Amino acid sequence: MHKDVQEILFTEEQLKARVAQLAEQINRDYEGKELMLISVLRGSFIFMADLVRQITVPCKVDFMAVSSYGKGTVSSGQVQITKDLSEDITGQHLLVVEDILDSGNTLSYLLEILWARRPASIRLCTLLDKPERRVKPVKLDYAGFSIPDAFVVGYGLDYDEHYRNLPYIGVLRPSVYGGEE
Ligand code: IMP
Ligand code: MG
């Protein structure tokens, strides 16, 4: 285990099993349709890569990047698009793939932008959900795991751009970001 990680929440094996279940649900729900998966960078890149390889309905992928955190552990509520989609999404069935839903600021803002472009439908898929921290209500269609209010890293999730490479999801030691243990 990495020295900055206090506790492992989900092992590689647990993540793999849950991602397969989510994909199964998605495949069932989108039978007969074509899907456009939209990965919200950068945190969801590993989840997206694992998920898409289990998707069996016809699908396309695109990427979007937003920033709301800067160097910190609390969302600022100010969301900016730093990289926009490459594809036209009009009339498409979108599945937005996120790493974690926290305050809900990022996703609720993103949804507004995406709906304005007139897709046929939008559903949300997040690997992790921290329901206790919600400020803006967001309806989740697919959620991997619900977690308590702790700052987690690994499997794509970062603190100050580090730890994305850890194959598991773990709680970051609060001392790393100047909090109390
Ligand atoms: P929200 O706008 O507060 O819902 O924050 C969503 C974004 O904040 C996620 O896509 C993550 O990039 C980031 N985030 C929220 N909680 C965590 C965490 O515990 N670890 C790492 N990133 C997080
Ligand atoms: Mg992030």
- Range 109-115 contact pairs with CB under 8 angstroms and sequence separation of 24 or more: 109/66, 109/79, 110/40, 110/64, 110/66, 110/79, 111/138, 113/81, 114/38, 114/89
Per-residue exposure over 79-93, b if at least 16 CB sit within 10 Å of its own CB, e if not: beeeeebeeebeebb
- The model carries a pTM of 0.94
Report the percent of the chain where pLDDT is more than 70: 93
Section 50-69 average pLDDT: 93
Ligand 1 binding pocket includes 109 (Cβ within 6 Å) = no
Residue 125 has a pLDDT of 98
178 pLDDT tier (thresholds 50, 70, 90):
confident
Ligand 1 pocket mutation pick from 39, 66, 97, 99 by most atoms within 8 angstroms of CB: 99
pLDDT in tens, 95-136: 999 999 999 998 999 999 999 999 999 999 999 999 999 999
Q: Report how far residue 116's alpha carbon sits from residue 179's, in angstroms, rounded to the nearest whole number.
A: 40
**How many other C-beta atoms lie within 10 A of the C-beta of residue 152?**
23
Residue 180 has a pLDDT of 72
Catalytic residue among 84, 102, 149, 160: 102
Residue 80 has a pLDDT of 83
Evaluate whether 56 touches 27 at the Cβ level (below 8 Å): yes
Q: Which domains does the chain have, with CATH numbers?
A: 12-149 (3.40.50.2020)
Could you say which ligand is closest to the alpha carbon of residue 176?
1
Closest CA to 46 of 88, 16, 2, 21: 16
pLDDT in tens, 5-17: 999 999 999 999 9
Q: Report how far residue 20's alpha carbon sits from residue 77's, in angstroms, rounded to the nearest whole number.
A: 32
Tell whether the model's pLDDT for residue 73 goes beyond 70.
no
Q: What is the mean pLDDT of the chain?
A: 93
Ligand 1 pocket mutation pick from 44, 75, 145, 164 by most atoms within 8 angstroms of CB: 75
